[in-house]
Amino acid sequence: MAATHSFVVSREQCFQQIEKLTKSHSLHGSESLCKLLRYLAEHSLDHPGIAIKEYQIATEVLGRPAGFDPQSDSTVRVQAGRLRIKLTEHYAQQGADDPILVEIPKGSYSLTFQLRTKPGAHLAQVLPPEPARKETEPVPPANRGWAMGVVVLSVLLAASLVATAILLAQRPHPQSVAGPGVPEPIQIFWSHFASGSQPPWVIFSNGSFVGRPETGMRYFNPSTDPPTFILDHYTGVGEVLAIHQLDLVFSSLNRQLRVKRGALFSLDDAKNNNLIFVGSPSENLTLLDVPGTQEFVFQRLDSGPRKGDLAVINVHPQPGEPTEFLATPANQATVEDYAVVSLLPGFEHSHAILILAGNSTFGTQAAVEYVCREDSLKELLQRLKVSKPGELKAFEALLHVKIAHGVPVMTNLVALRSRSQ
């Protein structure tokens, strides 16, 4: 049982309300927040009075490694704040009549459950009680009319206050562009994508494969493979982790993302939205249909000892720069890669396209992490001479990535080009 003031809410009622919340408009589609809500509910009801540690949430719910440090990583606080906002939004709108109120008190990760009185009861508490009748002398007609007028005005005033309170509670609450503690470089870099009327689309690569998972798969070769049994629903681990990083950043900015795999992308999406492409054109084939990079171009080599390998071509090399950048050969463990970060104008003047792509899935992950970290964005913005939102213009950047055991461990900016709109 969960005690709430003078009421008692059963465990079953509490979990019924949790499930209702996970299916609500406010939380629909946010699997990470629903998972967090269920975890907090189970812990709060199974271990009442025992505080939940950030480390527990990070490692048991959010997939953080054992070395997670709450002092340097604000992921848990950001997600809890985001969930707190969603709960407030639900109870102010769709859940205004829900019988149980679920809250996360500030400074705590334990849920509280409160049994709410019916809407009519709120009104009864606001209206003044009817005075007890006393045996008094009859009131003259003129005074009686004045007294009745005061009573009527008092009732109307109380009713108007109640109505105003209800309307204010149901009114949508505007969200700030950034939550507290968001580093300035992140706010500046992502200001255009976070301030649009619609959440941006994140288009992740999903290359075409042939074969079967249990017997082995390989990339589809249009010159030799029939297109009958193409598998186009796989993507790299780097893309998966990259989208997670983007979601964390946009959560800190109090904004959402819409995610779509490349095979389902349409030109209507490109014309009407800000776009973030995750993955190189060799797999994210929809990049071939939108304005692409002009300075650093992905291309397969048609000659030389690395013939057939994907490279980043330096179209206008500066003094001392090579004309092509190659990752570790495909027949060796990947320890080196190159990635491109490119901000381009969209089909419409008010929209933009961001390309985050590596030769390999690890390079793609590194490109996304580069634009999600305060230190690397600070370096990039300084090089571009950008100091406030609205100043960032189109550019193309080339990154060199070092990889160990399938994880990007070091990323350096090796070339940068500003582009005219």
DSSP string, 85-145: HHHHHHHHTTTTT-SEEEE--TT----EEEEPPPHHHHHHHHSPPPPPP---PPPPHHHHH
* Distance (Å, whole) CA 95 – CA 97: 5
Q: Is 366 helix (H, G, I), strand (E, B) or coil?
A: helix
Residues 223 and 96 in one domain: no
Left (φ > 0), alpha (ψ -120 to 50) or beta: where does 107 sit? left
Q: Copy the structure tokens of residue 186.
A: 């992140």
Residues 245 and 359 in one domain: yes
Angle between helix axes 237-252 and 361-370 (nearest 10 degrees) is: 10
CA neighbor of 206 nearest in space, from 137, 265, 153: 265
Residues 85 and 234 in one domain: no
pTM of the model: 0.57
Contact criterion met (CB below 8 Å) for 296 and 314: yes
Q: Residue 365: what pLDDT?
A: 94
Distances in Å between the alpha carbon of 399 and those of 134, 266, 411?
87, 29, 6
* Distance (Å, whole) CA 5 – CA 115: 9
Handedness of CA 344, 347, 353, 357 (dihedral sign): negative
The answer to the question of residue 131 being in a domain is no
Residues 166 and 207 in one domain: no
Q: Residue 222: what pLDDT?
A: 72
The answer to the question of residue 135 being in a domain is no
Residues 221 and 165 in one domain: no
The answer to the question of residue 288 being in a domain is yes
Residues 102 and 221 in one domain: no
Residues 210 and 164 in one domain: no
Residues 279 and 324 in one domain: yes
Helix, strand, coil share of the chain (percent; to 5) = 35, 20, 45
The answer to the question of residue 95 being in a domain is yes
Give percent of the chain with pLDDT exceeding 90: 34
Residues 202 and 168 in one domain: no
Greatest CA span in the chain, whole angstroms? 114
Q: Copy the structure tokens of residue 33.
A: 């927040």
Residues 20 and 79 in one domain: yes
Q: Residue 402: what pLDDT?
A: 95
* Distance (Å, whole) CA 273 – CA 142: 69
The answer to the question of residue 218 being in a domain is yes
Q: Residue 235: what pLDDT?
A: 81
Which residue stretches of the chain have pLDDT < 50?
1, 3-7, 119-147, 149-153, 155-157, 160-176, 421
Q: Residue 284: what pLDDT?
A: 65
* Distance (Å, whole) CA 205 – CA 31: 21
Residues 279 and 387 in one domain: yes
Q: Residue 3: what pLDDT?
A: 44
Residues 339 and 374 in one domain: yes
* Distance (Å, whole) CA 196 – CA 253: 12
The answer to the question of residue 264 being in a domain is yes
The residue range of the domain holding 302 is 184-418
| Pairing state between β 112-115 and 100-103 | antiparallel
Q: How many domains does the chain have?
A: 3
Q: Residue 133: what pLDDT?
A: 40
CATH of the domain at 344: 3.30.379.10
The answer to the question of residue 364 being in a domain is yes
The answer to the question of residue 366 being in a domain is yes
Angle between helix axes 141-170 and 119-126 (nearest 10 degrees) is: 140
